[in-house]
Amino acid sequence: MEIYIVRPGDTVDAIADAYGISPQSIIYNNQIPYPYPLAVGQALLLSRETSDSPKATNALVSAGGYAYPFISRWVLDQTLPYLSDLFIFSYGFTPEGELIPPLLDDTFLITAAKSADTAPILTLTPFGPNGQFSNYLISQVVNNESAKQRLIENLTGQITERGFEGVDIDFEYILAEDKIPFVNFVRDIRAAVNELGYPVSVALAPKTSDQQIGLLYEGKDYGLLGEAADSVLLMTYEWGYT
């Protein structure tokens, strides 16, 4: 650790570049509010990532969080040092497999995540026109090979063009008859995204047995989805509001 005295023309990004540290560490260590103003003569605590830093300490632990494009910049910058993955919420799609981006520009989320050495993850959701999860939309895509392939092409295109480093598939209310088509859907996306060098995760509603009845549970096979994806996110928070 060392103390740095702000000079005329200094910015958080410039200081971070000069010392080879992340802007987020400067912001966090000095509790600088957005938009991160600096005053000439201000003393800043600078620290390089060591074995005691959040990311180094949790090197064997994957910690992620969902973020909307309207997230507070201050909250984002306070949180990123502790995340390995930032799930950007969310991208929808049409029955034909066309990708629908968030209403607000998410570029700053991708940029901020990369600056913090956090992987920006594209979150895919089957939201209908009413903004709710649509099992009709899920059925249309997982059972239509051309629509599925079109969606996969659009996903890999976004990864290549925008700099995403993975895909999280967050589908809910899957119909029981779509259980196996959904597994194949996840497996096909994983194969395409893995070719680019990135992982695919799938979000799972919590359940206590494979025979559990209910729209949240019947369309998801834990075992097969665990094999189809690189990792799974068990959404235990579902029990808090469903």
Type of residue numbered 131? G
Q: How far apart are CA 113 and CA 166, in angstroms?
A: 13
Q: How far apart are CA 124 and CA 238, in angstroms?
A: 18
Pairing of strands 99-100, 231-234: unpaired
**pLDDT value of residue 54:** 57
- Please list, residue by residue across 82-109, b when 16 or more beta carbons sit within 10 angstroms of its beta carbon and e when fewer do: bbbbbbbbbbbbeeebebeebeeebeeb
Token pair in block for residue 134: 């649509």
| φ and ψ at residue 237, rounded to 5 degrees | -65, -15
pLDDT surpassing 50 at residue 35: yes
Rounded to 5°, the CA angle 58-122-162 comes to 105
8 A C-beta contact, residue 38 and residue 10: yes
Hey, which bits of the chain come out as E strands? Answer: 2-5, 43-46, 64-67, 85-93, 99-100, 119-124, 167-169, 200-204, 231-234
**pLDDT value of residue 242:** 44
pLDDT cut 90: percent of the chain above it? 68
Type of residue numbered 28? Y
**pLDDT value of residue 175:** 95
Terminal alpha carbon distance of the chain: 47
| φ and ψ at residue 232, rounded to 5 degrees | -125, 150
Q: How confident is the model at residue 107 (pLDDT cuts 50, 70, 90)?
A: very high
8 A C-beta contact, residue 142 and residue 183: no
Q: How confident is the model at residue 61 (pLDDT cuts 50, 70, 90)?
A: low
pLDDT surpassing 70 at residue 113: yes
Type of residue numbered 33? P
Q: What domains can you pick out in the chain, each with its CATH number?
A: 1-48 (3.10.350.10), 57-240 (3.20.20.80)
Hey, which bits of 94-211 come out as E strands? Answer: 99-100, 119-124, 167-169, 200-204
Type of residue numbered 209? S
For residue 59, give the nearest of 70, 50, 69, 72 by alpha carbon: 50
pLDDT surpassing 50 at residue 59: no
For residue 27, give the nearest of 115, 119, 118, 121 by alpha carbon: 115
pLDDT surpassing 90 at residue 194: yes
